[in-house]
Structure 1
Amino acid sequence: MKLFYFQFPNGISNFGDNLNLWMWKRLLPGVFDQDKTTIFVGIGTLLNNRIPKTDKTVVFGSGVGYGKGLPKIDESWKIYCVRGQLSAKALGVPSELAVTDSAVLIRRLYQQASSKVNQFAYMPHIDHAIAGDTAWKLICEQAGIAYIDPRWPIEQVLSAMSQTEILLAEAMHGAIIADALRVPWIPILTSTRMLPFKWQDWCSSIDIEYKPQYVMPDSKLYPPGPGVRSSLRYSINCVKQAPQRFFKAFWEGESNKMAIQLADIAKTSKPILSSESRIEQLTVELEERLEQFKQDVASRCFHHSA
C-alpha cells in the first residue's frame, strides 16, 4: 500500500502535506510500501480528479477541493472518513463518513510545550510563503509577531506552534494542528486566490463558523471579500512571468501597511478554539476508524492477488 499525498516540485516542503510522512509512519508502522496497486489518501485536500486510478483506494480524513472535478468513486474505494459534511455531500457518500481532518490525530503523538515564548505568530499559506519568501519575515518583524514558515521541518513548526499563545493562520493545517494542540487561532486571508470551501468543510466539523480576517495589501491586486473570482488577471499575468520575484518585491514594498493590519488583527480579533469535549470526541472517533482500518489490513482486505 502506497501513501498518497501532494508533493511540491523541486523538493519544497509543506507542513500540511508532509504531516503525512511524519504522522502515518508513527500511527501505522509497517503498513506502507511502494505498491501502487493500493493507495492510502490521508491528510490534504486530495479528493479530486487528480487521484491516480488504482486497484484499491483508501480514504482517511481527506477533503474535497482543487482539481477540475470530483473523483469517480466505485466499489474499489474504501472510505473510512472524510474531512467534513461538505466533502461528504460533494462526493455523495453517507454523512456518517464526515468526521474531521485526520491531522487531528496528532493529539495522540505530540507533547505540547510547557511554556509559551511568543504571544502571537503568523503562518502563511504555502503558496504565499513561496512567493513572498523573506518578505513575510520582514512583515512579521514589523508587526512584532513571530513568523512560522510552512516550509520548515515538521518538528520545527510543531515546536514553534506549541510555544505560541495565539496563532494567526492562513495555512489551514496550521489552524488544524493549533486547534488540536489547544492553541487558539485566528484565520487570516491575504488573497482571494485561496479556497474557502476547504476551511468551511473543516470548520463545520468542529462546530465553528469560518470568518477570516483580511490582510489585503492592494485591492487592485487582491479584490476585497471572499468568493470573488474575477479581476485577478493582473496578478495572474505577473505570476506567470515571475511569481516569486514579483510578489516578494510587492510585499516588501507593502510590508509596513500589512504589518499594521496584521498587528491590529492580533490585538483586536477574538481567537478561536473548539471545545475540549468536541475535539476529544472527534479524536476518539478517528481512533476507532483507524482501528478498523488496522483490522482490515490484518485480515488482508487490501491484499493484491497476482
Structure 2
Amino acid sequence: MNDSMEGNSVDSRLLYYSRDEIALNFGDYLSDFLYRKMLLAPYFQVDFYHLIGSVIDNQLITWDFEKTTVEDAKIAFWCCGSRSDEPLRKAVYDRCLFFGVRGPLTRKVLGLSEETPLGDPGLLLPILFDKNKRKSAAAGKVICVPHISQMGEFSSPPTDAALVRSPCVHNDEELLMLINDIASADFVLAGSLHAAIIAAAYGTPFAFWDNDFIDIPFKWMDFAASINIEAHFVKNIDEGYFWYQSIREHIKIPSLAKILGCCPIAVRPSFILRAVSFDLGLGKQATRRFELALSGLEVEKNPFIEHMQFFENQRYIRTRQRHRSASKTRRELRQVKNQFRNSLSMFSQYIEKMSVREAEPESTIRFGAEDVGLSLLLDGWTTPEHGESFPWSVVRKAGVRLPLGSGWENAAEIIIEGYIFLPKLERINSRSLRVWMENKLVFYKELRNDSAEQSVLEDFSVKVPRQFRVLDKDLIIEFELDQIGSPHDLGLSEDMRELGIGLKRIEYLFYPENR
C-alpha cells in the first residue's frame, strides 16, 4: 500500500486483494477500514487474516501460504465467502480457522455447524458511519456501481442510471464518499457485490445488475441467501425496481452482534454496544448514553493497544499458537462464545431499560443489579453479585459519568446515598470521604462507625457549581476514600476486594423553576 493510504499501519498479516496498489476496490479496502475503526488487536494469533471477501478457495489460499516461509502457517477467516461449491482440500482446510461465514452456501461447502454466524462484515457500516444526504451527489438519484473490471467500459451512465460511481478508491475519504452515495441514493444498480451489501445495510433499494458479466455467481447467491432472498439479476432500472418491490418485505439483515461476536480480533466495546442496539431496533439516544459509559474503559483508549497489532514480531507467541492442540482451540472458542452471550444479555437488559426512560429524564438514578445506573459507572467498580444490591468501588478514586441531558445541568444540588465500608475495629478509627466534581473538591467528611455493622449508610448532598451547569458535556463525579484493606485483610471474611463506597442512588434536586 502506498504511503498516502490511511491503512498503512494495519497489521501486516491482514490480507486483501491489491493491498499494495495505489487504487483499491472499495469492497476489499473495507477490511482495512473496519480493522482500524472497529477492532483492536488479534486474540487468536495466526499467520494471516482475511476479514472480507470471496477468498475461500483452494488456489487462493495456497497462494496465501506461499507468502510466508513458516511451515504449517494458518489463516483465520472472519465472515468471508467461498468462490464456488467446491470443498477445500483437507490439507488446505486443516490450516484454516473459520470465524463465521458470509452466507449459508459457504457454511454448507465448509461443512460448518448450523449455529455458525452468518453475515458479510460490510453490513456493519451503519453502526460506524451515518449517511448524510446533504453531502451526497447521489441523493434522490439512481446510481450504478459496476464491477471494478468493467470501469473502463463506461464513459457515460449505462442503462437509465443517473450516475456511475466507480468502485475504485484511494483513501478513507473516497471510501466514505462512495458509501454515503450508495446509502443516500434512491436506487442502486449493483455490478459490485459490496455495492449491494451496503445498500441492503442502509435500507437503500437495490438490484443485482447483469451487464453481460457476472463476477462469481456463487458469491451473489451466498449473500442473497444470507439476507433471506434469492439472487436474481436484472438488465435495467425498471426490472430492478420491479424485482426489489417483490423481495423487500422478505429481507432480513443478519445479527450484527453475532458478526462482531465471532471476530478473531478484539472488538472495541462501543461497537458491540451499537450492534446490540441495532439488532434490538433501539434509537441512537439510548445507544449514545451507554457509549459514554463505555468510553471510560481503558481498552477504548490506551495507547499500548497500537503496539498489540504487531504480534508477528514476537515469534514465540506464533510458535506457541501453531502447536496448540485442536481441543484447546475449541475450548477457547467456547469461552469466547459464552463471554459474548453474557455480554449480549447484559447489554440487552440495560438498553431495554434505558429506552423506556428516554422520553423524560428521571430525577433519581439507582444502581441496583438491574438498574441503568450501572451503565454510567467508570472504571473501578464491581458488578453486584453474591446477593449484593449495588456496586462497590474497589479503587481509591472511582467515578460516575452523568450524561448531558439527564437533568443534572438543571439541578441545584445532587443527593448521593451509599454505604461506606468502615468496620468498627481498634485499628480503624475513621475513614475520610472526598467527592470531586470535574476535578474540583465539592465535599469532604471524616466518617466514623459506632455500630456493629461493617458499613455505615451515608446520605449527603453536593451543590452543582454554576459554571458546571453551562458545560456542554457530561458531568464526572468521583468518590475518593483512603484505603483500609479488604474484608479478608481485616479478618472479617474471605472477600479480597478493597471496598470503598457501595453506591445506591443519585438524585437531582432542582430549582423550583427548573422542575
Q: Same fold (TM over 0.5)?
A: yes
Alpha-carbon offset, residue 147 of structure 1: 1.5
The amino acid that maps onto 1:126 is I
Instruction: Kindly provide the CA deviation profile for residues 130-168 of structure 1, in whole angstroms up to 9, marking residues without a partner as x.
Output: x41xx2x4134x735122110133112112112212111
Alpha-carbon contact 1:46-1:63 (below 8 Å) kept: yes
Show structure 2 runs of 5+ residues with no match. 1-10, 66-71, 268-304, 321-515
Instruction: Kindly provide the CA deviation profile for residues 110-145 of structure 1, in whole angstroms up to 9, marking residues without a partner as x.
Output: 11225572331111111111x41xx2x4134x7351
Alpha-carbon offset, residue 264 of structure 1: 3.9
Alpha-carbon contact 1:41-1:58 (below 8 Å) kept: yes
Within-5 A mapping of 1:44-63: 44-49=53-58, 50-51=60-61, 52-53=64-65, 55-63=73-81
Alpha-carbon offset, residue 29 of structure 1: 3.2
Instruction: Measure, in 2, the Cα distance between the counterparts of 1:193 and 1:263.
Output: 17
Q: Name the structure 2 match of 1:294.
A: 266
Within-5 A mapping of 1:1-306: 2-7=13-18, 11-31=22-42, 38-49=47-58, 50-51=60-61, 52-53=64-65, 55-65=73-83, 70=88, 72-74=92-94, 76-114=95-133, 117-129=139-151, 131-132=152-153, 135=154, 137-140=155-158, 143=160, 145-152=162-169, 153-214=174-235, 262-265=236-239, 268-271=242-245, 273=248, 278-279=252-253, 281-290=254-263, 293-294=265-266, 303-305=317-319
Moved more, 39-48 or 93-102: 93-102
Instruction: Measure, in 1, the Cα distance between the counterparts of 2:249 and 2:237.
Output: 23
Alpha-carbon contact 1:103-1:177 (below 8 Å) kept: yes
The amino acid that maps onto 2:113 is P
Instruction: Measure, in 2, the Cα distance between the counterparts of 1:8 and 1:66.
Output: 23
Alpha-carbon offset, residue 14 of structure 1: 0.5
Alpha-carbon offset, residue 212 of structure 1: 0.9
Instruction: Measure, in 1, the Cα distance between the counterparts of 2:241 and 2:205.
Output: 13
Instruction: Measure, in 2, the Cα distance between the counterparts of 1:68 and 1:12.
Output: 31
Equivalent residue of 1:40, what SS?
Answer: strand
Instruction: Kindly provide the CA deviation profile for residues 87-126 of structure 1, in whole angstroms up to 9, marking residues without a partner as x.
Output: 1121222232251112212122111225572331111111
Alpha-carbon contact 2:157-2:163 (below 8 Å) kept: no
Instruction: Measure, in 2, the Cα distance between the counterparts of 1:268 and 1:84.
Output: 25
Instruction: Kindly provide the CA deviation profile for residues 23-42 of structure 1, in whole angstroms up to 9, marking residues without a partner as x.
Output: 1111113559xx9x621111
Alpha-carbon offset, residue 268 of structure 1: 4.8
Alpha-carbon offset, residue 172 of structure 1: 0.5
Instruction: Measure, in 2, the Cα distance between the counterparts of 1:65 and 1:305.
Output: 31
Instruction: Measure, in 2, the Cα distance between the counterparts of 1:273 and 1:20.
Output: 27
Equivalent residue of 1:4, what SS?
Answer: coil
More strand by share: 2
Alpha-carbon contact 1:120-1:266 (below 8 Å) kept: no
Instruction: Kindly provide the CA deviation profile for residues 181-216 of structure 1, in whole angstroms up to 9, marking residues without a partner as x.
Output: 1212111111245221101111111101111103xx
Distance 1:27 1:10, change over 3 A: closer
Alpha-carbon contact 2:144-2:157 (below 8 Å) kept: no
Show structure 1 runs of 5+ residues with no match. 215-261
Distance 1:79 1:162, change over 3 A: same
Q: TM-score, normalised to structure 2's length? A: 0.43
Alpha-carbon contact 1:63-1:84 (below 8 Å) kept: yes
Instruction: Kindly provide the CA deviation profile for residues 246-301 of structure 1, in whole angstroms up to 9, marking residues without a partner as x.
Output: xxxxxxxxxxxxxxxx354456553554768x32x5212112223x7429x99x9x
Instruction: Measure, in 1, the Cα distance between the counterparts of 2:124 and 2:21.
Output: 29
Aligned residues: 244
Instruction: Measure, in 2, the Cα distance between the counterparts of 1:68 and 1:94.
Output: 18
Equivalent residue of 2:199, what SS?
Answer: helix
Instruction: Measure, in 2, the Cα distance between the counterparts of 1:97 and 1:16.
Output: 23
Alpha-carbon contact 1:63-1:82 (below 8 Å) kept: yes
Instruction: Measure, in 2, the Cα distance between the counterparts of 1:158 and 1:274.
Output: 23
Alpha-carbon contact 1:41-1:62 (below 8 Å) kept: yes
Q: TM-score, normalised to structure 1's length? A: 0.69
More helix by share: 1
